[in-house]
Amino acid sequence: MTLATLYGTLGIVLFALGLYGAIVRRRVLRKLVAVNVMISGVFLTFIAAGSRSPGEPDPVAQAIVLTGIVVTLGGTALGLALVRRIHALDLTSDPLEPLDG
Amino acid sequence: MIWSVVVPLAGGLAALLAPRRAARIAILTSVATLAVALALTRAVALDGALEHRPGGWPPPLGIRLVVDGVGVLFLLLVALVFVAATVYGASFFDPVETDRIDTGREAYDAEASDHAVRKGPRAPEGFWALWLFALASLDGLFLTADLFNMYVAIELLTLASVGLVAITNDRASVTAALRYLLAGMVASLFFLLGISLLYAEYGVLDLEALATAISAATDPASATGVALPLILTGLAVKAALFPFHFWLPPAHGSAFSPVSAVLSGLVVKGPFFVLLRLVTGPFAPVVPEAAGLALGALAVVGILWGSVRALQQPRLKLLIAYSTVAQIGYLFLALGLAISDPAGPAVRGGVVYALAHGCAKASMFLALGAIVRSTGHDRIRRLIAPQRGAPIAVSAFAVAGLAIMGFPPSGGFVGKLLIGEAATGADQWWTLAGLIVGGLLAALYLFRVFRRVFVAVPDDTAPLPRAPLGLEVPALALAVVSLLLGLAAALPLGLVS
Amino acid sequence: MTEPGPPTGAGSPPSPRSPTESGGRPGAGPLLRIVAGAVCAGLAGLIASAYWSLPDVASRVAPLVEESLAATGVASRVTAVLLAFRGYDTLLEVTVLLVAASAVHAVSAGENPGPVFTRGPAVDALLRLIAPLGVLLATYIVWRGSRAAGGAFQAGATLGGAVIALALGGVAVLSHVRPAVLRRLLVFGPAVFLGVGVVGLVTGAPFLEVPSDIGGIVIAAIEVALTLSIGLALVYLLGETLPGGLARPPRPGASSDDSGEVVR
């Protein structure tokens, strides 16, 4: 087993763990964190996909992950802003409260 | 063809720079995008598919954009609906600067003001920029022939859509937007993981290079067999196929009417188009027929479920949103049939149905907004003879409703006819049954509304405040297009084949 | 007034239920946990086994990057992919940031809980250091990006991070800048990028094509413009989700005494 395969497998495991969290957790903030675990898993797999042959790691895979990081950062930040907005609109609610499951 | 993306991108930047003139910028931009789409249609009709390489780099290295007959029809649909919805939006939002910070809810509660002239909400800051970026991302999605670029475009589309839902800024819409965002992010990650597996196996992202690699592979089942379901699932969630539709009704039901029109009419068609391009393109040799059957089965259940839920809705807006859940089923029926027979009538049926539904559904949401501007609410039980206040919008709603039900000679009828033909050809009687029962249920839930509108006699004869023409005319225009699509179906069908 | 919706939003099953109904419980029921666990474990096993079965094939694109690197005018492979070969991706990606920033701005306008750090000698010293250090570091990262790892996004993140850190300490740098100027700065990078693309189109070349002899300079210019806009977009994105409301901060240099005061 090469190092790249190990990283790829780790990425897949992270993806599945994050998915489990995103399904099972009821609190929105935890769901967002779980989704970010999935994100890390996918990116790890992508980087590993570009470094499975010996030699320089694939610059395309690196560039794609960089682009992906920025895109997912936008989504996460928007999610946090929405959670905060829900709390601001309804001060009686706990900001960590679950969405309707 | 790149102008289809460049024009709305530039418009979006301009709208960010000049918020006060944003509505005018949006109208100009959408009209310019329509002009580009018309010119492209002419070019594709004369010369066939066109290709563009941003940066000028050859395919496996650079990104390739391709527009073919199907793509250009979707570009045209997007541009047309956007022109109508933008003109509508310019009247929908109150141009007068007021110091009200609400976005419509408080006045809606105040039923005492029933007979006053109703004012629209103020256009929220950044609305038109998000609007034009959504247009740019839709066009980008219909053009791209690169897997990762598809991901970026679809994510741009999702974030813009979520922003447009959340911008209503009340609890229902922000909660709906958050759920939309979470579902959309998980779906994108399925899609992206699938892409990464394909990249690990074939080392390319360009669709044509991928098609060559897949058909040349001796044993294409290894990672492709797993990547394919991941990609299908991800895009099915984004397109709100049953049972992944849960995010759609609250989002479409709580957004501003012009936003709902674009979300329901266009945005869900984006991932559908990508799926169509993938399963009839590079994945055609490896998609198992079972996948087509599975999609078809989910589609039939979705049609029935969406229609039954539509029947139960007390609010007209949610009824229309659930009707979209049902109608997405028809698109996936066509997709499932196209997997087993890519050259058959299923693709043409799906495309025509998507075009008709895009115009008709957008028209219904626009008409609903006009009706609500007059009546102040959308409770079906109390929606008696709204044509007193919004006669043009009510007729638009009726015409668009006929297209949704699939009455001849509407575009919806032609689309269903072709899908039915494909189902008969494939000996899928259950698909045909789903198609027919779905049409009957659509008639049932829409006639429930029509009965209130046309038959019920109002107990008070007081006149309702008149909805502005700027809200009524765009709704009617789109309804008429959905009707004409059936009468002139030969034109789009000629482009598909 | 025009938008329908029951005031409670609880009239129909698909609309969000009231928090009391499902609140309090940190997780789902045991059945869902077991089913979800089994599904996710199965999924991981399936994907991993497919992944292991892959032959060790090199990327087909990587050698092409090597071949065409000289034609881009930049020395760093990753930067060449980001801004030349897949520049169109990057243009859409920057747009994603603008979209997210606009959306965040639209939903959080007017909220401002104030600074979070308690000012003291240590924090003050840090705050004095962080601005020059952030600018210096960002400049270095952009410069380095033409040859090795680095570039507009990393530099923008550094710059934005410095601004956010300052605002957390109550030093609101951006409050001295008029909103119109901030808007121009936000749009500047994407506009330069788009403009470069359109110049190619107008002269008959493909979108975003840059002649290779000036490629290095043009890409450097795009990077610098993007750094500023990305930094600001990140401030909008994270700044307004963090306490401290960076775009419209409470009071420049305010001490922590008036934290908690909401100022629009």
Lowest mean pLDDT among B132-141, B228-237, C56-65, C135-144: C56-65
Cβ of residue A44 closer than 8 Å to a chain B Cβ: no
Distance CA C21, CA A6 (A): 44
Distance CA B431, CA B419 (A): 9
Name the closest residue on chain B to residue C54, using Cα atoms. Answer: B201
Check whether C101 has a pLDDT greater than 90. yes
Give C 178-207 residues with CB within 8 A of chain B: 183-184, 186-187, 190-191, 194, 197-198, 201, 205-207
Structure tokens that stand for C79 in this block:
């930067």
Residue C262 pLDDT: 30
Chain B positions touching C209 (Cβ under 8 A) are 54-56
Distance CA B417, CA B412 (A): 8
Residue C240 pLDDT: 63
Name the closest residue on chain B to residue C97, using Cα atoms. Answer: B156
Cross-chain Cβ contact B178/A48 below 8 Å: no
Would you place residue C29 in the very low, low, confident or very high pLDDT band (cuts 50, 70, 90)?
A: confident
Task: Give A98's strand partners.
Answer: A27
Cβ of residue A25 closer than 8 Å to a chain C Cβ: yes
Distance CA B84, CA B72 (A): 18
Q: Is residue B52 helix, strand or coil?
A: strand
Question: For residue B318, what is the enclosing H or E element?
Answer: helix B316-340
Cβ of residue B192 closer than 8 Å to a chain C Cβ: no
Which ranges in B406-428 belong to alpha helices (H)? 411-425
Residue A79 pLDDT: 94
Task: Give B206's strand partners.
Answer: B146
Chain A positions touching C56 (Cβ under 8 A) are 2, 52-53
Chain B positions touching C207 (Cβ under 8 A) are 2, 6, 52, 54-55
CA-based torsion, A23, A24, A30, A35: positive or negative: negative
Would you place residue C27 in the very low, low, confident or very high pLDDT band (cuts 50, 70, 90)?
A: low
Residue B118 pLDDT: 64
Site from C18, C82, C83, C235 to mutate, A interface, most A CB atoms within 10 angstroms: C82
Q: Express as a percent the part of chain C with pLDDT over 70.
A: 75
Give B 209-268 residues with CB within 8 A of chain C: 209, 222-223, 225-227, 230, 246, 249-250, 253-254, 256-257
Asked if B38 contacts B46 with a C-beta cutoff of 8 angstroms, the reply is: no
The number of C-alpha atoms within 13 Å of B228 and in the hemisphere containing its C-beta is 22
Cβ of residue A65 closer than 8 Å to a chain B Cβ: no
Residue B112 pLDDT: 35
**Rg value, chain C, Cα:** 24
- The answer for residues whose C-beta is within 8 angstroms of residue A35's C-beta and 6 or more apart is A18, A22, A76, A79, B182, B185, B186, B189
Whole-prediction pTM: 0.91
Cβ of residue C30 closer than 8 Å to a chain A Cβ: no
Residue B113 pLDDT: 39
Distance CA B121, CA B173 (A): 15
B469 vs C260, which has greater pLDDT? B469
Q: How far is CA B165 from CA A88, B248, B262, in A?
A: 17, 11, 11
Asked if B386 contacts B453 with a C-beta cutoff of 8 angstroms, the reply is: yes
Distance CA C256, CA C154 (A): 31
- The answer for residues whose C-beta is within 8 angstroms of residue C3's C-beta and 6 or more apart is B103, B104, B105, B108, B121, B168, B254, B256, B257, B372
For every residue of A3-20, DSSP letters joined together read HHHHHHHHHHHHHHHHHH
Distance CA A45, CA A59 (A): 15
Cross-chain Cβ contact C198/B6 below 8 Å: yes
Q: Express as a percent the part of chain A with pLDDT over 70.
A: 87
Cross-chain Cβ contact C5/B105 below 8 Å: yes
Structure tokens that stand for B225 in this block:
């067999």
Distance CA B347, CA B337 (A): 8
Residue C18 pLDDT: 38
The owner of tokens 């049954």 is B433
Q: Chains near B, with 3+ CB pairs < 8 A?
A: A, C
Distance CA B480, CA B411 (A): 10
Site from B159, B382, B464, B472 to mutate, C interface, most C CB atoms within 10 angstroms: B159
Residue C4 pLDDT: 41
Give B 347-406 residues with CB within 8 A of chain C: 369, 372-373, 376-379
Would you place residue C136 in the very low, low, confident or very high pLDDT band (cuts 50, 70, 90)?
A: very high
ipTM of the complex: 0.93
Cross-chain Cβ contact B172/C15 below 8 Å: yes
Distance CA B189, CA B368 (A): 35
Q: Chain C closest CA to B353's CA: distance in Å?
A: 27
Asked if C12 contacts B318 with a C-beta cutoff of 8 angstroms, the reply is: yes
| DSSP state, residue B459 | S
Cβ of residue C7 closer than 8 Å to a chain A Cβ: no
Cβ of residue B223 closer than 8 Å to a chain A Cβ: no
| DSSP state, residue C239 | I
Q: What is the mean pLDDT of residues C161-181?
A: 82
Distance CA B11, CA B28 (A): 8
The dihedral formed by the CA atoms of B95, B99, B100 and B101, expressed in degrees to the nearest 10:
100
Residue C121 pLDDT: 86
Burial of B37 (0-12, 13-18, 19+ CB in 10 A): buried
Cβ of residue B282 closer than 8 Å to a chain A Cβ: no
Q: Are strands B65-67 and B50-52 parallel, antiparallel or unpaired?
A: antiparallel
* For residue B282, cis peptide bond before it (omega within 30 degrees of 0): no
Cβ of residue C103 closer than 8 Å to a chain B Cβ: yes
Q: Where are the beta strands (DSSP E) in B107-208?
A: none
Q: What is the pLDDT along chain B (497 residues), one digit of tens a residue?
A: 899 999 999 999 999 999 889 999 999 999 999 999 999 999 999 999 999 999 999 988 999 999 999 999 999 999 999 999 999 999 998 764 433 334 444 444 433 333 345 677 888 888 999 999 999 999 999 999 999 999 999 999 999 999 999 999 888 999 999 999 999 999 999 999 999 999 988 889 999 999 999 888 766 557 888 999 999 999 999 999 999 999 999 999 999 999 999 999 999 999 999 999 999 999 988 898 899 999 999 999 999 999 999 999 999 999 999 999 999 999 999 999 999 888 889 999 999 999 999 999 999 999 999 999 988 888 988 888 888 889 999 999 999 999 999 888 889 999 999 999 999 998 889 999 999 999 999 999 999 898 887 777 777 667 788 888 999 999 999 999 999 998 888 888 888 87
- The answer for residues whose C-beta is within 8 angstroms of residue B450's C-beta and 6 or more apart is B398, B401
Collect the ranges in chain A with pLDDT lower than 70.
1, 91-101
Cβ of residue A6 closer than 8 Å to a chain C Cβ: no
Go through chain C and tell me how many residues it has. 264
Asked if B35 contacts B60 with a C-beta cutoff of 8 angstroms, the reply is: no
- The answer for residues whose C-beta is within 8 angstroms of residue B175's C-beta and 6 or more apart is A86, A99, A100, B250, C9, C16
Chain C positions touching A77 (Cβ under 8 A) are 100, 104, 237-238, 241
pLDDT in tens, C204-235: 889 998 888 888 889 999 999 999 999 999 98
Distance CA B28, CA B78 (A): 15
Distance CA C255, CA C119 (A): 7
